[in-house]
A and B are shown apart, each in its own frame.
Chain A
Amino acid sequence: MIRSLDSRPEARPETAAPTALRQRLAELRGPTVAPRPLDARALAALAANPGCHRRALLDGAGVDKAALSRALGAPAAFGQSQFAFVRGHAFEARVKADGGAELVRLLRERLGDGSPAPEHVDLPDLAAAGPEGRTARTALALREATAAGRWAVLDHPLLALTVAGTPAYLEPDAVVVHPDGSWTVVEIKSFAMVDGSADSAKVGAAARQAAVYALALEAVAERLGAEAGLVRHRILLVCPKDFSNLPAASLVDVRKQLATTRRQLARLTGVASIAAALPEGTTFDLCLADDGRTSMRPAAELASAVDAVAAAYAPECLAACELAFHCRARSRAADAVQALGRGLRAELGGLTTVGAVLAAASGEAGDPDDPTVSALRRAAALRAQALAGVAG
């Protein structure tokens, strides 16, 4: 494949948010607080709940949600065991130990397209100062490797993606450049693939994360001026095989996740407009004490700042967002039926609070001609009859 890759060698990612917005986001975060960069996991979670302005704004402004949840008195339960951490790193190091040859071997084996075994796998040096330097270095390495027409493995490249007006830096485990110039995202995970299959929830999460990387790679490809189709839509998932430390790989088609993520991220209301709607002086600054941990802001004050931004809490948040306990408490306090599940909410039509549903079911309120209301009354009567029959 021949491409013209002569454009903008230091292709700068579109990371720059307009100054006014940057200013505003810095105020929200706290003037002395460094922004917390978004990662692929956060982006995938963000895309999973695109209706949530609260999360979009906090992530967009680079607020440390874990610290915020602690200061709110509703700390998240996220954390990693050092056993898992050590194992994850050891496995990744092992897979990459031979400079990428093993990764290329696994990829070729999975593709099964009979391409010749490489004599040599390029392993470009991606070191550079600062995230912007590193993304530029990555783009350059991708350009060179693509032009070289050889196998190359980029170990921990750094990619940038602009989401709702804010930059996010993403670091896939690896990207493989094929001799034909196409790119494959590599995800190395430490959950086992037993007899060729792994926990589907974990594979799904890995695929959503990989889709974010593929999206960011496509942005790089665009900036490099290469034609579309450069980024392969099947990512390589590498996991420990059975109960061993040997790698097993599988190609996962992420086209669906890619389309969903693209759509959801586009739907994210721009951070700018959410920020603009906030009352004057709103800030999530924790005003940390000298220990760098203890919040000096009263929890009630922080809570009212957080609650000024609309949320869309559902139980799925518990596994995806650090603020979930806080939002759950708010959602429950508001008597929202969605706190019990999105499906349940969908079933109840226009009735959005527990009180309204129960009142409609008992006949105290609600329009009897509304099919939801009449179904509820019927359900309540049948339920009461069955329970009374047993009690009596």
Chain B
Amino acid sequence: MSLITTLARLEAVRDGRARPLATVRHRHLAEKPFVFVPLTTAGEAGAPLGAMVGTDPDTPRLLVVPQPRDRDLRSAFLAELAEAMLPYIESYAEGAEYAEDTENTSGSEEPCADAPQLLVPSAAGVEYVRLLGRSMRFRRTAEQDPDAPHPAPPRVPLLGRWLTHFGERARVPGSSLLPAMTQLLGRHWATGQSVLEDQHLGALLAWIDPPHGLTGAEAAARAERERDRDGLLVHPPAGPATDPVFDNKRLAPAIARYDQGRTGAEREIHDLLETQLRPTWDAVWRGVGLLRALPEGAHVADRWKRDRWSYTAHRDRLRAGEPPQPKQDDAVTAARKLGARETAQAQLDAQEALDDPLVMAGRRLAGEAFEGEVTAVVMEYSQAKVPRPRPLVTVRTGDAPHPAEGARLHRALPGGKSQSAEFVAHEADGTLTVRLTGGMGRGKVPEAGSVPEPGDTVCWTLFEHAPRGGPELPDPDRTPWTHGGPPAAAAEAPDPVTAEDLL
């Protein structure tokens, strides 16, 4: 944690409410995100209990598994989930733009104009999406395999492949196909509690937007701990795990009544799950509102374009009839994904700093950038046959960078380009000299505005602004088969069906 972040947390303790960690929004927020609040059965892997889903904060759709041990009921739930989610996911698949650039014979393709965004409450929700994806993608429908003992409903394996894709994409730093609300909020606000405690969506919101008359700490303590007379949490956890007291005192008896075939038991389970899901659903939308109030960072659209590519590439893989994602990546794919994630992290770090002075402040504190006022500019030229401008710029700064002599520096120019420079020396009077080495046009005279003038405030970074790979390309691991991806492996077998696949 940078000292600036630490300070922000301590300020939050002092003020009794969260303090900003960013001055712009660093993540894409869809105009119409699809919110997915899942609940799972305690102690069972991949046995969903229910979910609240949809794109309209006022009219969520509630899906319920009245008896999670019943394979058919789980299948029905997944079918419903597919029916609720797939139209949303697929609605972005049409209309991939093709650049109408007649000179470009390579047919430079563009990704889909927009992409779906699934929003879950917390990091555990992201993991659950992965797990659901894994549990569904190898299943066979009756059409695919007439002999399958328990055929999957038609669209379930397809949803499994999409959820797997979303889950995988979520591991790429800065990606926004499947963000967790706690992570989005935690990126933008520092609370007066620990990072561990920030995993609780209710507590996190309590710090960011405490109700009138309460401090963040008080409101967070309530959100975490307040229980009613029966010992049930007043603010249920954001899932997918449920409150054990709820399980034992409410859900288990209701399920027992359902098993006995009592009338109204199913309705009761619906109502019970609604009490657990609705507060989280509302909390996610409250988070959306808070995030929308922040202006979007300048590079967010670039990163979203990568997400659009990722989505488009997966669409193409599905269309090409490729098999589901393997259970385990082969070594090459795994290494490539790791490499891509590292690049994405470096890009994210650079872009966030460029988009946000508060992030840049952290880099300046770390000696990775410096800002100051230009005190002198001396025009010099390179020795080449056609001499190029190589002006020497002197800067006075309070920052304490430690570049080696000749180290490469980078400066953002208006219009998004970056200008390279070279560190020359720390001068005796405390100023720094820097030689500009590019970004001044092709002529002997630098283009207007490309060389700073005395009195200007400038900021140089020791890190590159666009580390490896432009924003126009799909990530290596998203390269569609049609674009020379690795050869398709045979589809893996579905999970064997055991006599009772639940205990």
Taking Cβ atoms with an 8 Å cutoff, the residues of A that contact B are 75, 77, 79-88, 90-91, 94, 190-192, 194-196, 240, 242-246, 315-316, 318-319, 325, 332, 335, 337, 339-341, 343-344, 347-348, 354, 357-358, 361, 375-376, 378-383, 385-387, 389-390
Contacts and interface: CB of A to CB of B under 8 A. Distances in A.
Nearest to B503: A90
A386 B358 contact: yes
B437 to A, nearest CB: 27
B215 to A, nearest CB: 11
Contacts of A192: 45-46
Interface in B43-75: 43-46
A240 B45 contact: yes
A245 B43 contact: no
B364 A357 contact: no
Given A381-B398, A386-B361, 8 more contacts: A77-B224, A81-B244, A243-B45, A343-B1, A358-B7, A376-B7, A382-B362, A383-B7
Contact of A194 (B9, B134, B225, B227): B134
Nearest to B252: A82
B294 to A, nearest CB: 11
B150 to A, nearest CB: 12
B201 interface: no
A83 B41 contact: yes
A75 B327 CA distance: 42
A315 B220 CA distance: 14
28 contacts: A75-B225, A77-B225, A82-B247, A82-B252, A84-B42, A84-B244, A86-B43, A87-B43, A94-B503, A190-B43, A243-B45, A244-B498, A245-B501, A315-B194, A315-B196, A318-B197, A319-B196, A325-B225, A332-B13, A341-B194, A343-B1, A354-B10, A358-B14, A378-B365, A379-B4, A380-B7, A382-B4, A389-B357
Interface of B: 1-4, 6-11, 13-14, 20, 23, 41-46, 131, 134-135, 192-197, 217, 224-225, 227, 242, 244-245, 247-248, 252, 327-328, 356-358, 360-362, 364-365, 398, 495-496, 498, 500-503
Contacts of B131: 194
A383 B196 contact: no
Contacts of B495: 242-244
Nearest to B194: A315
Contacts of B7: 357-358, 361, 376, 379-380, 383
Contact of A344 (B1, B4, B227, B247): B1
Nearest to A193: B45
A155 to B, nearest CB: 19
Contacts of A240: 45, 503
B496 A318 contact: no
Contacts of A335: 13
A350 to B, nearest CB: 15
Contacts of A84: 42-43, 244
A378 B2 CA distance: 12
B1 A347 contact: yes
A86 B247 CA distance: 12
A378 B366 CA distance: 11
Contacts of A348: 6
